[in-house]
């Protein structure tokens, strides 16, 4: 399958690399076609990997991953273009974390919504699925890095899109994917990051997750 | 030991009843001394239980629990009186959830702080420990209601206060109490409620918790 991955940072690299390792074709997108991180990544990954602009990557992918910084995601997706996202599953991995004030806050907090909802609203033709935002980049494609079967939360309005993303997450190795309902559930999974950051600081590792017990 | 429990709702009743069952003396506080829920509770619990105003309960307790609604907590604590809270461990169980808009939001979201911090700031003489706010009332004193050893998060500025609260939580049956640091960690444990509400809705039970794996 063909994937577009928007973002060249730790998250974009981790997701894109994992997709290539599973045999998929992946185009990594950046603001500039000449982005050296995307080009180097593609060169290192071989024939199934390529690099381009956000629009190139979105046009290439049958499924598109938003792995940009949360505060830059809407701009990046506008650069990718609504015409390149229409009808496609758009996996939103980003978190609207704002570190500019020193301590992290959610840039969506005052409005009380979520980044995923804003993306869904701005791109009504895309089928947004919030996923993978509750774990660190290294764990996203390698859930075995935390012991036991921890839970991955997904949310979105489109049941078929969530089925496809769940199947892909199972390819990644996730054994427990918990569908929390429509895209407004991203308010919960994004807000959880404020707890996640404290857990990571306390436990002195980012390779952590939670198991829901009930 | 003597405890003051502020609040006569599900949370206050659960905490107060558990404390009595462990042999402690408990005074439940309400806005009005004649509050029928507090009086009925005390009558049903017997000799170790009593009822009074917020100020009566706070004055009585060596440790005080804030089990009021988050949106009313500061008012309740002002009624309890700074002089009755000075030097005492104040366990803040409340969440700043605002359901007035239909979907729940955090009343602290725009400022990006937490209820626990606001309480600590308003009552600098109290030793605030955020605890028990991440589980439903029935689970607070009976962690065995969720299977396995799930985690309870605490936060606060006073190490001795956290040690005393941890010992009390162990009396309740908690086997894993995770200290997330100073009172600002309450931003994380309060924000988690937005996820918790979705988990409860999805799993159709409030008797749930998380186990952190790393």
**Mean pLDDT on B100-105:** 88
| pLDDT value of residue B148 | 87
Which of A5-9, A148-152, B121-125 has the lowest average pLDDT? A148-152
A196 to chain B: which residues are within 8 Å by CB? 188
The answer to whether the CB atoms of B202 and A146 lie below 8 A apart is: no
Q: Express each pLDDT in B140-177 by its tens digit.
A: 999 999 998 899 999 999 999 999 999 999 999 999 99
Instruction: Provide the shortest C-alpha distance from residue B210 to chain A (in Å).
Output: 4
**A1 neighbors A62 (Cβ within 8 angstroms):** yes
Work out the burial of residue A96: count CB atoms within 10 Å of its CB; fewer than 13 is exposed, 13-18 middle, 19 or more buried. Answer: buried
User: Reduced to 3 states, what is the DSSP secondary structure of residue B179?
Assistant: strand
Against a cut of 0.90, is the pTM above it? yes
Mean pLDDT rounded to a whole number for chain A: 97
**A15 neighbors A24 (Cβ within 8 angstroms):** no
Domains of chain A: 2-203 (3.40.50.720)
Residues of chain A with pLDDT > 90: what percent? Answer: 96
Token pair for B171? 């009396």
Token pair for A113? 């919504």
Query: Cα–Cα distance between B118 and B114 in angstroms, integer?
Result: 6
| B103 has a pLDDT exceeding 90 | no
Edge to edge, what strands does the sheet with B49-53 contain? Answer: B49-53, B25-30, B2-6, B63-66, B89-92, B127-130, B152-156, B177-179
| pLDDT value of residue A128 | 99
**A38 neighbors A30 (Cβ within 8 angstroms):** yes
Q: Express each pLDDT in A130-183 by its tens digit.
A: 999 999 999 999 999 999 889 999 999 999 999 999 999 999 999 999 999 999
Which site among A100, A198, A203 would you substitute to test the B interface, given the most B Cβ atoms closer than 10 Å to its Cβ?
A: A198
Strands A105-106, A97-98: pairing kind: antiparallel
The residue assigned the tokens 């829901």 is: A212
ipTM topping 0.90? yes
**Mean pLDDT on B63-77:** 98
């Amino acid at each position: 399958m063909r994937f577009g991955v928007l973002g060249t940072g730790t998250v974009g690299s981790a997701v894109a690399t994992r997709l290539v390792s599973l045999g998929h074709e992946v185009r990594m997108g950046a603001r500039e076609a000449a982005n050296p991180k995307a080009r180097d990544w593609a060169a290192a990954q071989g024939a199934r990997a390529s690099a381009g602009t956000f629009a190139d990557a979105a046009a290439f992918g049958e499924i598109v991953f938003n792995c940009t910084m949360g505060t830059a995601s809407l701009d990046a997706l506008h650069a990718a273009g609504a015409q390149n996202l229409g009808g496609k599953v758009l996996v939103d991995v980003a978190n609207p974390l704002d570190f500019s004030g020193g301590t992290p806050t959610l840039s969506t907090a005052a409005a009380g919504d979520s980044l995923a909802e804003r993306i869904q609203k701005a791109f009504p033709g895309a089928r947004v699925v919030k996923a993978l935002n509750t774990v660190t980049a290294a764990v996203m494609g390698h859930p075995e890095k935390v012991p036991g079967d921890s839970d991955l939360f997904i949310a979105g309005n489109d049941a078929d899109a969530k089925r496809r993303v769940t199947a892909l997450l199972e390819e990644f190795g996730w054994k427990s994917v918990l569908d929390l309902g429509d895209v407004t559930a991203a308010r919960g999974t994004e807000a959880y990051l404020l707890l996640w950051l404290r857990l990571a600081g306390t436990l002195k590792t980012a390779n952590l997750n939670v198991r829901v017990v009930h």
